[in-house]
Structure 1
Amino acid sequence: MQKILLVEDDQKLARLIKSFLEEHHFAVTWLNNGDLADQYVSSGGYDLILLDVMLPGKDGFEICRSIRTKFNGPVIMVTARTNSLDQLRGLELGADDYIYKPIEPLILLARIRALLRRVPVEEASTKLLQFGKLQINKVTHSVKIAESNVNLTENEFELLIELTKRAGEILSREYLFMKLIRRDYDGIDRTIDGRVSRLRKKLGDSNESPFRIKTIWGKGYLFVEDAWE
């Protein structure tokens, strides 16, 4: 049974979410205050965190920033605010998806299941990818640059694998959205942009002038094979 940590101060909503997810065979721990989130993440062995933005104590942004040093699983942020800058901030801090209130339970369930899917284990003969100093192990989900470990979340790892599978090709947001989020791109959602931004930072690329994972304006993203020397 997969474990979810729900951090939500709205008691009525939290009870509904907890009950609904437990009916669908998840084990749910509920916190109504952000101050204890770090402690629970460190000791709980959770598979996914469902995190409200507006909380007493630490808010969702602070929690997301803090837990990303110790938690590599998916994080979904929940908010009543529809400000796109808030969404982008959350994604850049390490959130994998954003859901707006009021929450549609079946949509929430679909998002959770999609995020909990993992990259399939590859055959041993094809488990290693090498691009200059960049080494990717598709079985252990480990990444190194010049023998230094790079700590990626599962969703960042999935993005990297998708980019490297078609290195040298421009991959559109629509394509990446369908492959990684597993639903159609609505033209507004910044989830893929946030993942690319975080992945660049961790791989020593620049979001202002990227040279390893390039933005091709109006078309998509390009993984540059010879930029890892």
Structure 2
Amino acid sequence: MAGHILLAEDDKALSALMQDFFRAAGVAVTPAYDGEQALVLAQAQPFDLLVLDVMMPHLNGLEVCEAVRQESDVPVIFVTALGQEGDTLAGFRAGADDYITKPFSFPVLVAKAQALMRRARGLRLGASELGYANILMDTASGTVTVDGNPVNLRPKEAKILELLLREQGRTVSRDLLIERVWGTDFDGDERMIDRHIASLRKALGTASQHIRAVYGKGYRLGGST
């Protein structure tokens, strides 16, 4: 999965719709339906992102965020009907990273959430590490893991993955793949690129969903076409 979020929204119908959009994007979701439940869940397990409604029973979203901020820098998005400037400022003062007012676009919410999770992962990576979703590569040691489990890659597969990780979210053209991975060893058979991508996908298992073909252009890791 491309991240695990806590979604705190007391409107169960709206929560169900939001969960559908996140899960369709490959994001795991744990729902909470009031502020107290949200805080208990947030303190009990690690999440990649919190999506908090502001107006919730028992504890409001601001109170949940302030409590979480005492022990965690997990990204937080507020989703709320309160759209005045003072409400927005209160959200950021409580520790939010983004603030979205209702009604909102579900795809935009998902995109903002994914961007915050990518940014947070990047800040936590070491100098020689590259990561996306559940894929982690240490370029110094040459190791690759998916969900913490080691993955064995052949040299050219590892070079392809490293290039895709460095250019994540952007399309990597076939010409660039040839230049960076094969160089002067390329024999002119472009189907060789597809065969190596297929082999890389097989090795990555469930994480293979993040490698996408862009028709007529090349391949990309995550991002939009």
Inter-partner Cα distance in structure 2 for 1:117 and 1:9 = 27
Match of 2:79 in 1: 78
Provide Cα deviations, 1:31-83, integer angstroms capped at 9, x if missing partner.
11111222101112111000000001101111111111122110000111111
The equivalent residue for 2:93 is 92
Equivalent residue runs for 1:161-176 within 5 Å = none
Report the secondary structure of 1:70's partner residue. coil
Say if 1:34 and 1:123 are closer, same or farther in 2 by CA, change over 3 A: closer
Runs of 5+ unmatched residues, structure 1: 125-229
User: Which 5+ residue runs of structure 2 have no aligned equivalent?
Assistant: 129-225
Q: Which residue of 2 aligns with 1:28?
A: 29
User: 1:83–1:27: structure 2 CA closer, same or farther, 3 Å change rule?
Assistant: same
Please say which structure displays the higher CA radius of gyration.
2
- Read off the aligned partner of 1:29 and give its amino acid letter: T
Amino acid at match of 1:64: C
Residues 15-164 of structure 1 mapped to structure 2, 5 A cutoff: 15-118=16-119, 119=122, 121=125, 123=127
Q: Is the 8 A contact 1:20 1:105 kept in 2?
A: yes
How far apart, in 2, do the equivalents of 1:122 and 1:58 lie?
A: 36
CA RMSD of aligned residues (A): 1.5
SS in 1 for 2:73: coil
Query: Hey, which bits of structure 1, 4+ residues long, moved more than 4 A?
Result: 120-124
Q: 2 CA distance for matches of 1:82 and 1:63?
A: 19
Number of matched residues?
Answer: 124
Summarize the Cα distance change of 1:45–1:122 in structure 2 as closer, same or farther, 3 Å threshold: closer
1:177-216 aligned at under 5 Å gives the runs none
Paired amino acid for 1:75: V
Change (3 A) 1:5 1:122: closer
> Deviations for 1:83-121, whole angstroms, at most 9, x for unmatched residues?
111111110110000011112011101101111123365
Distance 1:11 1:53 in 2: 15
Structure 2 length as normaliser, TM-score? 0.52
Query: Percent of aligned positions with the same letter in both sequences?
Result: 40
Q: Which moved more, 1:58-67 or 1:113-122?
A: 113-122
| Structure-2 separation of matches of 1:9 and 1:67 | 19
Normalising by structure 1, report the TM-score: 0.52
